[in-house]
Structure 1
């Protein structure tokens, strides 16, 4: 009929689908979980994708067998990270199981980004911010099992529970939800200690709002004390456990002393890494800055946008203040940057430049989408495992390089509490143990096979320990080279065997 517009059937279906997603939280989470699975699945089943990732899995499996963290097997990260892997290992000690749980955690984090962004932007823009978070996580080495995949989700939950209770805090009230939020922040700290600075920001925000509510000093103090207690509980429980077990000194050495006593990068290397990191973060920072500018003009959203901006500032300042700077350190800043990008998606047209730059480019540069390497990674790693297993009948193995999960793959016990071999060969490392004495003890046990990365990925090296291992491998009667693949590409390893005399 004249004057009537006919809507295309496809357009109508798309519109209905968009409304369903906008109206249904379950639909939103389902979409985010599907996207997370899609962009992360190329690496599923790879045990050698990342050096840190596989070590977390190894430690989880060792704890499941009765080892005590920081005593029988050593690292400096918080205990909750390894308890997560232990819980998974008790159900299914497979790399795929760890990766599926990590994918779920990443999707939950993205859903939290979506919920926070929805407070300051339209439903569609909030979903785009959540998708941006997942893409950025992949770009900054969070596309597998990195710690940020887990602690980010907890910090995002803490931020959401705080932001959604601004009105209560302005009235001088706290509730179970807010206490839960600070407990989530505490669990994040129990994974990565530096998260404490973000937790401190949230705590100061809550105290400031309570102080402005008209409550008495005592009223503010006891409420703030409850929030602080909730945030401290995970590490207080950890400290109590180790104190009762007689190993509090080992705990303190690992999570505190070792972080300050270790050596750090030369100033020239640090400056180079600062510029590299700034370049990598440049695109999300630009679009989040545009988004913040747009949101700042919206009076109702301004308080939330300001706290998210402060969150981003604290996370970024922490990254660039580290003596050592690695790509995955940026993961803590990705959630607030993605949330601020919602302002760009909501108030700037067209949105496609932001999608291409933040989502498309991030995925294109992520290790997961080096598809040629992913295609070759599994058979190459399987060949290495099969060969090492055959040549190590007594299971006396020394891994001298990245693939520390080889111990688990062939059923060998790690040769030392310092099973993460960089603790032994990095020149600036400090563990509280005597690395030279530890290597002498390892070699005295006559490992029958040594898997050595060529070259060792560190500078400077611990020349003394490297020389000892080199001297030992020269006594091995046979050797064979293997090329395996991680998120950075090809990695060459030499298998020295028939070494036990």
Structure 2
């Protein structure tokens, strides 16, 4: 396979994308688990389609441009996991083609080849949850565009005013996935060490980064929702841990081969027989800084799952090339790649289709939507879930803004505060839920603090479930 993709002809794009389709085809023909984040994103899009304003009317920590995409998908397709997967495939195709084109057009490697696109495509299948349209996936597209502009600057003797684009792309990436803001440090260090950027050009890059962010802040300020924006997005990045992923074995297994090949590729540079040009060495160094910036985002991730590590794919794919390039015998390189390819796809299909009965490795069970606690006959109702498990929303709709439990705690876990009680009462009055699922034991206290609500609901035969009279 390595030998086939080593040649550089335009028709190889068809082969590369054909391989992508073949890998994903079994999942298109078989249903695979719906994940809690996917359900969360679809609910956000659905609520925005009804005219709700994100952060003010929907308490969630998803970044604004990602929410706009989910809004658009809901408008076109409704609640459709297939729409998320189809859109994610289009984004993946863009990233694979752009990364392969960029590395060859800019002579990032000594030889022109389709290996970069092949590695990139493979690593995007390290786990089945990477097939969905996550904020990280969309954000990484703009980080790649920033990388393309940055290395274009490095080819010249001095930086130009195009450095504005670098900051602008990172600003857009931030509005898709807030932890991507740390990549402005990557851009700043790269400009400092590897270009002849002046103070004016640094300022342009910073302005490019701040412009889309400031425009978004201004939008919420004009809609009198800046406090909601600050609490539910800006401040939440340090506090919100929306889902608990206890399956660290699956996470480590998914990252082991891509990360291992990337590290081996980086280490092989120290014993490389090839002499890389000054420009290629600088690209290697800024990719190391990219990796460090990606590591820093781990502390800001709202949950830990393989999909959250997609920003690691570009440096892992980039350095993996050097590992296979520096293997002296072609058959050893081919054998090693086939083994890595097979193991990654085995875990990928095991997670999505459960090829090995009883084996939980790769299944990400704690992120899967479980069976609804509500009776099967309760569907298409407006409900409120107090807690992390969003499974009951699968067949029902959200009432009140309290979607994200970590954010809802501001009110629902602070019922000794008069203002919080008033907020909850107002939200219930404006959008009363037909059913309340109380997994955090706050309803009884809420009814004590707001007797006007207590008279509207009664307990049902299902534990912790209240029905509107």
Residues 369 and 166 (structure 1), Cα distance of their counterparts in 2 relative to 1, 3 Å cut: farther
Q: Deviations over 1:212-245 (max 9, x none)?
A: 7xxxxxxx12222222222223212101211222
Alpha carbon RMSD of aligned pairs, Å? 4.6
State which of 149, 156, 163 in structure 1 corresponds to 2:151.
163
Indicate the residue corresponding to 2:333 in structure 1: 350
Indicate the residue corresponding to 2:450 in structure 1: none
Q: How many residues align?
A: 434
Shift of 1:341: 1.2
- 1:38 has 2:25 as partner: yes
- 1:303 has 2:277 as partner: no
CA distance in 2, matches of 1:392, 1:273: 31
Contact 2:35–2:369, Cα closer than 8 Å, also in 1:
no
Which stretch shows the higher mean deviation, 341-350 or 52-61?
341-350
CA distance in 2, matches of 1:53, 1:248: 26
Q: How do residues 354-393 of structure 1 correspond to structure 2 at under 5 angstroms? A: 354-357=337-340, 360-361=343-344, 363-365=346-348, 367-370=351-354, 388=376, 390-391=377-378
Shift of 1:317: 3.8
Indicate the residue corresponding to 2:140 in structure 1: 152
Contact 2:168–2:211, Cα closer than 8 Å, also in 1:
yes
Indicate the residue corresponding to 2:402 in structure 1: 418
State which of 168, 172, 186 in structure 2 corresponds to 1:187.
172
Indicate the residue corresponding to 1:258 in structure 2: 236
Contact 2:384–2:400, Cα closer than 8 Å, also in 1:
no
CA distance in 2, matches of 1:447, 1:264: 22
Contact 1:424–1:435, Cα closer than 8 Å, also in 2:
no
- 1:286 has 2:253 as partner: no
Q: Which runs of 5+ in 1 are unaligned?
A: 1-10, 213-219, 457-461, 480-493
CA distance in 2, matches of 1:208, 1:162: 12
Shift of 1:305: 1.8
Indicate the residue corresponding to 1:491 in structure 2: none
TM, length-normalised to structure 1: 0.70
SS of corresponding position for 1:397: strand
Residues 29 and 184 (structure 1), Cα distance of their counterparts in 2 relative to 1, 3 Å cut: farther
Contact 2:20–2:121, Cα closer than 8 Å, also in 1:
no
Contact 1:28–1:111, Cα closer than 8 Å, also in 2:
no
Shift of 1:79: 0.7
Shift of 1:109: 2.2
CA distance in 2, matches of 1:67, 1:324: 23
Q: Deviations over 1:370-412 (max 9, x none)?
A: 3689xxx9xx999969965x4367x3423355664865854x4
CA distance in 2, matches of 1:259, 1:331: 18
Shift of 1:160: 2.7
CA distance in 1, matches of 2:464, 2:89: 33
SS of corresponding position for 1:340: helix
CA distance in 2, matches of 1:87, 1:406: 23
Shift of 1:67: 0.9
- 1:203 has 2:191 as partner: no
Contact 1:80–1:190, Cα closer than 8 Å, also in 2:
yes
Which stretch shows the higher mean deviation, 395-404 or 342-351?
395-404
Contact 1:398–1:451, Cα closer than 8 Å, also in 2:
yes
Q: Deviations over 1:426-462 (max 9, x none)?
A: 99999x998777667778887443567xxx6xxxxx5
Shift of 1:496: 4.8
Shift of 1:311: 1.0
Which stretch shows the higher mean deviation, 190-199 or 117-126?
117-126
CA distance in 2, matches of 1:264, 1:18: 41
Indicate the residue corresponding to 1:500 in structure 2: 468
Shift of 1:103: 1.7
- 1:83 has 2:68 as partner: yes
CA distance in 2, matches of 1:468, 1:428: 8
Indicate the residue corresponding to 2:310 in structure 1: 331
Shift of 1:274: 8.7
Q: Which runs of 5+ in 2 are unaligned?
A: 448-453
Q: How do residues 386-405 of structure 1 correspond to structure 2 at under 5 angstroms? A: 388=376, 390-391=377-378, 395-400=381-386, 404=390
Residues 113 and 239 (structure 1), Cα distance of their counterparts in 2 relative to 1, 3 Å cut: same
Shift of 1:356: 2.9
Shift of 1:350: 2.3
TM, length-normalised to structure 2: 0.75
Shift of 1:189: 0.5
Indicate the residue corresponding to 2:118 in structure 1: 128
Q: How do residues 46-57 of structure 1 correspond to structure 2 at under 5 angstroms? A: 49-57=34-42
Shift of 1:256: 2.0
Contact 1:113–1:129, Cα closer than 8 Å, also in 2:
no
Contact 1:40–1:103, Cα closer than 8 Å, also in 2:
no
Indicate the residue corresponding to 2:451 in structure 1: none
